[in-house]
Amino acid sequence: MPLQTKLPKVGTTIFTVMSQLAAEHGAVNLGQGFPDFDAPARLVDALAKAMRDGHNQYAPMSGIPALREAIAAKTERCYGYRPDVDAEITVTSGGSEAIFDAVHAVVRPGEEVIVLDPCYDCYEPAIELAGGVAVHVPLDPQTFAPDWDLIRRAITPKTRMLMINSPHNPSGATLGADDIAQLTALLRGTDILLLSDEVYEHIVFDGARHESVLRYPELRERAFVISSFGKTYHCTGWKVGYCVAPPALSAEFRKVHQYNTFCTFAPAQYAFAEMIRDEPEHYLELGAFYQPMRDRFQEQLLTTRFKPLPVPGGYFQLVDYSAVSDLDDAEFCRWLAVEHGVAAIPLSPFYGTPPKGQRLVRLCFAKSEATRDAAIERLRKL
C-alpha cells in the first residue's frame, strides 16, 4: 500500500541521533538537554507518597486543583498576575504537548505561523500537521536577537500566530523590556495570536529579570504561555508542563488536549503542587544554582580551541568551532562524538534555511562537575 508521509521533512530528531551516537561510542553526552544529577529529594519523596496514597488513576483533564492553585500563586509571585485557576491553567504532558495543543487549537489549513530561527524542532511539525505554513524569520546570527522590522515585514493577511522563545533554545538569548515593547506595538491592532515558549523561565543570569508575557496585559490577552516542570525541577523524564492562556484560548486549547493525552501523570501533579507550595526557593534560586555551572564551563572552554558565546539564560552553551574544523555542523558533531568522545548538537536542524558557513554547535552544561570536566579534558585535545 503506497503511503504518503504527512511530514516529509522530518526524520529521527537530532537529539535522538546524537544521544544514540554518544551511547554507541562512549561519548560524554553534552547534546540532549537533560541534567545528569538528581531531582530534588523532596519532590521524589512527594511523588512516592502520592503513589502510596493511591493517586494513581486519571487526573482531572485540566490538572488537579492543588497544582493549578500552586501554579496560580507562583505566577502571581513571579509576574504580578494571578491567572484564573479554573479557566486559564491547563496541565499538560510536557511543554511539547502544550505547544502542539496550542497550535492545533487555533491554526487552520493555509494559515501562517511566524517562527524565529533557530527555533526548537517541534514547532514546524506541529504547524504542518495542523495544515499551517511555518514562515521562518532569522534571528541575528551572532546575538540571536529578533529584528522586529524583519518580523513586521513577514506578516501577511494569513498570519495567525507568532511564536517566541525566551530564554532561547538553542542560544540562551533572552528578550528584554525593549523587545517586549516592540512586540506589543507589532501585534497591537491585529488578530495575531502569540505563543510564548518560556520553559527556561527560571534560568536567567546576572541579575536579569525574565520578561514573561504574563507580566504584560496587552500581550497575555492574546497569548498561550508555555512552562515546563521538567526544566525547572531537573526531571525531564516526567514530562509535565502547563499552559496559561485567557479563558477563550484555554477553552480551545483544552479541546485538543482532552483528545491528545486527556490528562497528565497524576502522582507527579501532587508532588509538584507540594514542591511549589513548600519549597519556593527552588524556582526562585534556579538562576543562581546554574550560574556557577555556566561560568565555570565558559572558563574551561577558554582553555580549548572553542569560542564560547554569551549565555544570558537557559542551560545551553553555543560554541564556535571554526578554529577546530571546516566541517559543516552535522558532520562536525558526528566526528566529535565518534572520534573524540563528546556529543554536541548541530544548529542546522533548528533552521528552515541554515546560514551558510555557520560553525556553531550547542553544548548542555546542566551536568555534574565530573561530566563537564570529562568533556573538557577531551575537548582540550582537539
Question: The domain spanning residue 206 has which CATH number?
Answer: 3.40.640.10
- 83 & 229 share domain: yes
| Pair (268, 307) in one structural domain | no
Sign of the four-CA dihedral 315, 187, 160, 254: positive
Residue 99 banded pLDDT, cuts 50, 70, 90: very high
- Assess contact for 300 and 342: CB atoms under 8 A: no
C-alpha–C-alpha distance, residues 277 and 71, integer Å: 9
The residue segments making up the domain with residue 33 are 14-39+284-379
Beta-carbon count within 10 A of 374 CB: 16
Q: pLDDT tens across 220-248, in order?
A: 999 999 999 999 999 999 999 999 999 99
Q: Does 12 have pLDDT greater than 80?
A: no
Count up the domains in the chain and report the number.
2
Q: Are residues 171 and 244 in the same domain?
A: yes
Which residues have CB under 8 Å from 87's CB, separation 6+?
247, 250, 251
DSSP run (H or E) holding 69: helix 65-79
Residue 189 CB neighbours (<10 A): 7
Do both 45 and 155 map to the same domain? yes
Q: For residue 42, what pLDDT band results from cuts at 50, 70 and 90?
A: very high
Residue 299 domain-assigned? yes
pTM attached to this predicted model: 0.96
- What share of the chain in percent tops pLDDT 90? 93
Q: What is the pLDDT of residue 372?
A: 97
For residues 238 and 229, is the Cβ–Cβ distance under 8 A? yes
Q: How many helices (H) and strands (E) does the chain have?
A: 15, 13
**32 and 114 share a domain?**
no
**Residue 210 in this model has a pLDDT that exceeds 90:** yes
